[in-house]
Amino acid sequence: MSQPILVITEQLDGSFKNVSFEAISAGRMLGEKSGQLLIAAVMGTDIEGIARQAAAYGADRILVADHAGLKDGLADAYIQAAAQLVAKTDPAVVVIGATSLGKDIAARLSARLNAPLAMDCVGVRLEGDHVVATRPMYGGKVLADVSLSGSPAIVAIRPRAMEPAAAPGAGEIEMVDINLEGTNLNLVEKHMETGKIELTEADVVVSGGRGMGGEDFSLVEALAKALDGAVGASRSAVDEGWRPVSDQVGQTGKVVAPNLYIACGVSGAIQHLAGMASSRIVVAINKDPEAPIFSKCDFGIVGDLFDIVPAVTAEIEKLKG
Ligand code: FAD
């Protein structure tokens, strides 16, 4: 392999998403194995100041595409920028975080370049000149190794699936002019939820299901707050209109991999498990001892969540002093 490894990072409002550092670490591992340069691409508006952070994880070169047209986070503009950075660097492998925007960019790059793509990977390695990515299939029941033929091989890695590892690189910064003419999307209105921890990046997730019985999720919110965690929901809770779609965990929602996942009043349907099975420790609170979630958890509490959740929260607050 004689071409570089390109990692496309993602930042929001001037802060890198953690998955960017995970992606750079994965890219560094590939770069070390192949003896090739690791290039990190940083895209956005007014981002020159943060770009250097990519060097701490091993980037040899950092390409900065700083353009006012990238301010609104529109995929249309980001794909143009990403395609120009790929054309400039001619990489053997492109690594990107499998976030909403990352998946959009990865899929469109793949289509534009007629390049192979492995989405939502939990591992990546080189076997000879071939990139082999590990990705969950059948709702996480199977891990498949897929070998990518073609160039560049595009690998979108699942947030929190791989550890970011600090390893200082040269981090030579280069500003790159990009052309965003011909982008057709315009932002009309933007609704931001502030002060909310992003589900896919959270260290702790507390989810509520249909067992919550209604839109009052204050018990789950209080427990999540006590643990500095994020609130998730089953699809039933979302379909009922109790929680926004952005909170949904599962096959058709978000995939999370926190250190601690607490499921409150969630039965543990296969489609829900597909979104949280990679969590390190799972705690289930359910009044039905036969609920499937109990066969997938590390700790289970059989009982009424309306008694248990506040008691657990109070105990945590007591421990925190
Ligand atoms: P239920 O299955 O109704 O379970 C509620 C649980 O709460 C029960 O186990 C009950 O014992 C318990 N309970 C009730 N009251 C209390 C109480 N007071 N205290 C303690 N426990 C209590 N689902 C997802 O979550 N995410 C997805 O992404 C998703 N995608 C899907 C995609 C497809 C194509 C399909 C067909 C389905 C999908 N589903 C998804 C739906 C999934 O099959 C389940 O219907 C859903 O996960 C059930 O949600 P739930 O566990 O909240 O509700």
pLDDT at 21 over 80: yes
Question: Which phi and psi angles does 194 have, rounded to 5°?
Answer: -95, 155
Instruction: For residue 152, say if its preceding peptide bond is cis, omega within 30 degrees of 0.
Output: yes
- pTM exceeds 0.75 for this model: yes
pLDDT given at position 1: 65
Cβ-in-10-Å burial (0-12, 13-18, 19+) of 266 comes to: buried
Contact 230, 204 (CB under 8 A): yes
Pick from 246, 269, 263: nearest CA to 211:
263
Cα 242 to ligand 1 centre (Å): 13
* Interval between CA 293 and ligand 1 midpoint (Å): 10
CA contacts within 13 A on the Cβ side of 72: 14
The residues, any chain, with a CB within 8 Å of residue 68's CB and separated by 6 or more, are: 45
- How is residue 250 written in tokens? 């599962």
Q: Which atom of ligand 1 is nearest to the CA of 208?
A: 52
The three-state secondary structure class of 295 is helix
- Atom 35 in ligand 1: residue holding the nearest Cα: 271
Mean pLDDT (whole number) for 211-238:
97
The CATH number given to 5-175 is: 3.40.50.620
- Asked if the domains 5-175 and 199-320 are classified in one and the same CATH topology, the answer is yes
Ligand 1: atom nearest CA of 285 is 20
* 311: exposed, middle or buried (Cβ count in 10 Å: 0-12, 13-18, 19+): exposed
CA distance 230 to 217: 12
Minimal-distance CA residue to ligand 1 atom 48: 236
Of all protein residues, whose CA lies closest to atom 9 belonging to ligand 1?
A: 267
For residue 206, the surrounding DSSP H or E stretch is: strand 204-208
Question: What's the Cα-to-Cα distance from 280 to each of 128, 203, 264, rounded to whole Å?
Answer: 32, 10, 17
Tell me the average pLDDT of the chain.
95
Cα(147) to centroid(ligand 1), Å: 35
- Identity of the amino acid at 207: S
Q: Are 7 and 14 in contact (CB under 8 A)?
A: no
Pocket test for ligand 1, best of 120, 223, 267 (most atoms within 8 A of CB): 267
Instruction: Kindly give the pairing relationship between strand 15-16 and strand 11-12.
Output: antiparallel
Out of 76-85, 108-117, 137-146, 167-176, pick the least confident. 137-146
pLDDT band at 129 (very low <50, low <70, confident <90, very high): confident
What is the residue with the minimal CA distance to atom 44 of ligand 1? 269
Q: Which of ligand 1's atoms lies nearest the C-alpha of 251? A: 28
Nearest CA to ligand 1 atom 33: 271
pLDDT tens per residue across span 171-184: 999 999 999 998 88
Distance 210 CA to ligand 1 centre (A): 6
Half-sphere exposure of 76 (CA within 13 A, CB side): 11
**Each residue's pLDDT tens digit, 239-298:** 999 999 999 999 999 999 999 999 999 999 999 999 999 999 999 999 999 999 999 999
Alpha helices in 150-304 (DSSP H): 218-226, 235-239, 270-276
CA dihedral 243, 99, 132, 2 (to 10 degrees): 180
Query: Which residue's CA lies nearest to atom 14 of ligand 1?
Result: 211
- Give residue limits of the domains in the chain: 5-175, 199-320
Which protein residues are within 6 Å of ligand 1, measured from CB? 209-211, 234-237, 248-253, 265-267, 269, 271-272, 275, 285-288, 291, 304-306
| Atom in ligand 1 nearest the alpha carbon of residue 306 | 18
Question: What atom of ligand 1 comes closest to residue 293's alpha carbon?
Answer: 9
Which residues, at least 6 apart from 171, have a Cβ–Cβ distance to it below 8 Å?
Answer: 52, 54, 55, 56, 59, 60, 61, 62
Q: Which residue has the tokens 């000149």?
A: 129
Report d(CA 277, CA 37) in Å as an integer.
35
User: What φ, ψ does residue 296 adopt, rounded to 5°?
Assistant: -120, 10
Taking the C-alpha atoms of residue 286 and residue 268, their distance in angstroms, rounded to an integer, is 10
pLDDT of residue 4: 97
CA of 211 to the centre of ligand 1 (A): 8
Under DSSP, is residue 319 helix (H, G, I), strand (E, B) or coil? helix
Residues in a beta bridge with 96: 8, 156
CATH of the structural domain 199-320, one choice from 3.40.50.1220, 3.30.70.270, 3.20.20.10, 3.40.50.720: 3.40.50.1220
The DSSP code for 212 is G
User: Residue with the nearest Cα to atom 26 of ligand 1?
Assistant: 250
